[in-house]
Amino acid sequence: MLHLVKKDLLLQKKALPIVAVSLLFFAVAFSGAGSVGLVISTLALGYMLVYDAGLREDKSDGNKLLACLPIRKSTVVLSKYVSVYLYAALILIGNAVVRLAAVGLGLEHYTFPITLEGAVGAMAALTVIFSIFFPLIFKLGFLKSRTINMIVLFVVVFAGTWVLSAVAERTGVNPLEIEPGPGVAFVMAAAVLALLVGSYFLSLSFYRKREF
Amino acid sequence: MKTTTMTDPVLELVGVSKHYDGFSLRDVTFSLERGYIMGFIGPNGAGKSTTIKLILNLVKKSGGQIRLFGLDHIEHELEIKDRIGFVNDDNLYYEDLTVREMKNVVRGFYSKWDEGAFSRYLKDFNLPSDKPIKQLSKGMKMKFSLAIALSHNAELLIMDEPTSGLDPLVRNELLDILQTVIEDGDKSVFFSSHITSDLDKIADYITFIHNGSVLLSMTKEELLEEYCVAKGGREALAALDRGKLIGVKEQAFGFEALARREDVAGTGAGIVMEKPTLEDLMLYMTRGGTGHVASR
Amino acid sequence: MKIVLSNASDEPLYLQIVNQVKEQILRGELDEAEPLPSIRSLAKALKISVITTKRAYDELEKEGFIVTVGGKGTYVAPMNREMMHEARMRAVEEKMAEAVAEAKRIGLSLDHLKQMLDIIYEG
């Protein structure tokens, strides 16, 4: 399975410069967003990376190749889910590097901070978003699902930020800065995990039925 | 648990069917024994690629059974795919990766990968290890597919139109390689093509498909013995039972048709009987649109 | 062993092989106990189907010209002088039968035929 993840990375050799530039761009663009900056950056760049690898693969009929090789469909699906977290780790490191450089150069208010809440939030948001994306991707392929998923991404990000700021205005409290109690945190984590697992099985069932 | 034996046919289809909106594959039945080359011929659109996709379970069959090495192709899908190599007419491999990178992606999935064999093929085929696949010529891409297919001890090679778009030199090289592959009697080749001149030479078995149905499946020897291209004058045509002639073409000075030798021999009247090529077979059997094998 | 196949000829490939091998054995060009190529390597060298070469070898074996030793290979069968002589005589007979048939077709008498034979033999 790791071969597959490595393959996705190899496929993106060309995209890396663009991703690096985008990373910088988001770091600056959302510098005012505080911890949330990391979440947005992770979501956007995660989407870019997953889709770049996926589109390149679809273009070369990569799925057909994988279907001809002795690889379990479950392995293929799993590798895509795993790759998301690999990208998240890379994005985190990238942002951390940018932040450190900014701090070192005295430009820290041009980038957003790296915080634990931000990292956890980024992972959670990524998990939720891709749990929604992947079943569609495995059913329709990257090409056909791109438009729908892009819309979903925008809706979630903007609606999400709108809802959060609305709540913050009404109650005077920024929901993102509330430290959830361990009970709530546990429930939230379990929900996200359940969503992830459900998504995996749905993706697998769609992928198994696909014809190449 | 079913175990495979050396005497099972390496490839066996029984009553396989697949229904699409505009096209159906019906009752496809044939089998290939170990150690031989089967040519799978038919005009474009006859159902060759569909059949191969069904074998590899890339599309789901509507009915019938498919077995490789005696094992059901879905129940034992992984084991089977470990033992077969495949070559397609359009390159399946990732164009952006180099030859070496692509090989490294693929090799991890085969239990019997033979790196030494792959290096030998790279050298024999003159394949540059560090060039992106998209920069290779069509012939080189096919050779790359072949190198991969032959480097994991595959027992069956499935080839879907591997020679289309290739020049005669490369095609000849391929034929040579295929005959070397089956030389030990352990490996087999399933070769689909609409360019029949390649198969004329080296195929052991021929399965002919047209409009989704298998019209015949037998050794090339039997085929050439049983059928002939009959040519003669118009009076000769009158003396023959037209029901026994396939794809009759009438011209000003006479006629020509495909027929079973036994149906035409001995009717005298100056009928010439020639050895048919596979192309003749295809041409005459598909003339008239429906294609049929003359009634016995 | 030398085999040259013609695709243009209407004679089946396997028969061409049979006849050419037979002739070489009868002419002494292939020695007794000389090993023959395996059916697969012959098929590869001639670029034909393995089934064709198998058929040729089966036929040759049936007629007693070659023999397959299980596991070791195929060899030219021991032919005693008499057998070879007989085979050659039969070949001559066949040719004579052809000549006679042709002669009858154009109405040559037996005497005329004998005269022609004398001339050809002396010449």
Judged by a CB distance cut-off of 8 A, whether residue B274 touches chain C is yes
Query: What confidence category does residue B291 fall into, taking pLDDT thresholds of 50, 70 and 90?
Result: very low
Structure-token pair, residue C24: 């070489």
- Predicted confidence at residue B210, as pLDDT, reads 92
Residues pairing with B32 in the sheet: B11
Count B/C contacts: CB-CB distance under 8 Å.
Answer: 46
The CA distance from B114 to the nearest CA of chain A, in Å, is 16
Name the residue among A3, A56, A59 with its Cβ closest to that of B108: A3
pLDDT score of B296 more than 50: no
Judged by a CB distance cut-off of 8 A, whether residue B58 touches chain A is yes
Name the residue among A7, A14, A212 with its Cβ closest to that of B58: A212
Convert C56-106 into a string of H (helix), E (strand) and C (coil): HHHHHHHCCCEEEECCCEEEECCCCHHHHHHHHHHHHHHHHHHHHHHHHHH
The CA distance from C16 to the nearest CA of chain B, in Å, is 13
What is the mean predicted confidence (pLDDT) over C9-38? Answer: 86
Helix/strand/coil for B154: coil
What is the mean predicted confidence (pLDDT) over B266-286? Answer: 83
Measured in whole angstroms, how far is the alpha carbon of residue A129 from the centre of its chain? 7
What is the mean predicted confidence (pLDDT) over B133-145? Answer: 91
Name the residue among C14, C44, C51 with its Cβ closest to that of B204: C51
The ipTM, to two decimals, is 0.84
pLDDT score of C15 more than 90: yes
- Pick the range with the lowest mean pLDDT from A110-114, B289-293, C16-20, C71-75: B289-293
Rounded (5°) CA angle A164-A167-A170: 150
Which chains lie within 8 Å of chain A at 3 or more CB pairs, if any? B
Q: Which residue ranges in chain A fall short of pLDDT 50?
A: none
Q: What is the model's pTM?
A: 0.83
Using a CB-CB distance cutoff of 8 angstroms, which residues of chain B are in contact with residue A79? none
Write out pLDDT tens, residues B113-122.
999 999 999 9
Judged by a CB distance cut-off of 8 A, whether residue B53 touches chain A is yes
The CA distance from A21 to the nearest CA of chain B, in Å, is 22
Q: Are strands B37-41 and B188-193 parallel, antiparallel or unpaired?
A: parallel
What H or E segment, with its residue span, contains residue A22?
helix A16-29
Name the residue among C14, C47, C55 with its Cβ closest to that of B175: C47
Write out pLDDT tens, residues B236-260.
777 777 777 888 888 888 888 888 8
Name the residue among A59, A70, A209 with its Cβ closest to that of B110: A70
Query: Are B274 and B229 in contact, with CB atoms under 8 Å apart?
Result: yes
Q: Which of B83, B24, B32, B94 is nearest to B54 (CA)?
A: B24
Judged by a CB distance cut-off of 8 A, whether residue C73 touches chain B is no
C-beta neighbour count of A58 within 10 angstroms: 18
Rounded (5°) CA angle C71-C72-C74: 110
Most confident region among A109-113, B115-119, B175-179, C75-79 by mean pLDDT? B115-119
The burial of B69, by beta-carbon neighbours within 10 Å (0-12 exposed, 13-18 middle, 19 or more buried), is given as: buried
Using a CB-CB distance cutoff of 8 angstroms, which residues of chain C are in contact with residue B36? 50-51
Question: Between chains, do B97 and A3 touch, taking CB under 8 Å as contact?
Answer: no
- Predicted confidence at residue A179, as pLDDT, reads 64
Mean pLDDT, chain B, rounded, equals: 88
Which chains lie within 8 Å of chain C at 3 or more CB pairs, if any? B
Percent of chain B topping pLDDT 90: 53
What is the mean predicted confidence (pLDDT) over B264-284? Answer: 82
Most confident region among B36-40, B230-234, B290-294, C83-87 by mean pLDDT? B36-40
Euclidean distance between CA atoms A46 and A187, whole angstroms: 25
pLDDT score of B278 more than 80: yes
pLDDT score of B74 more than 90: yes
Query: What confidence category does residue C26 fall into, taking pLDDT thresholds of 50, 70 and 90?
Result: confident
- Predicted confidence at residue A25, as pLDDT, reads 84
- Pick the range with the lowest mean pLDDT from A157-166, A189-198, B172-181, C109-118: A157-166
- Pick the residue of C50, C52, C58 with the most B CBs within 10 A to test the interface with B by mutation: C50
Percent of chain C topping pLDDT 70: 98
What is the mean predicted confidence (pLDDT) over B209-225? Answer: 91
Most confident region among A193-207, C2-16, C73-87 by mean pLDDT? A193-207
- Predicted confidence at residue A121, as pLDDT, reads 83
What is the 3-state composition of chain A as percent helix, strand, coil, each rounded to the nearest 5? 85, 0, 15
Name the residue among B56, B96, B111 with its Cβ closest to that of A68: B56
Query: What confidence category does residue C23 fall into, taking pLDDT thresholds of 50, 70 and 90?
Result: confident
pLDDT score of B290 more than 50: no
Question: Between chains, do A10 and B101 touch, taking CB under 8 Å as contact?
Answer: yes
- Predicted confidence at residue B289, as pLDDT, reads 41
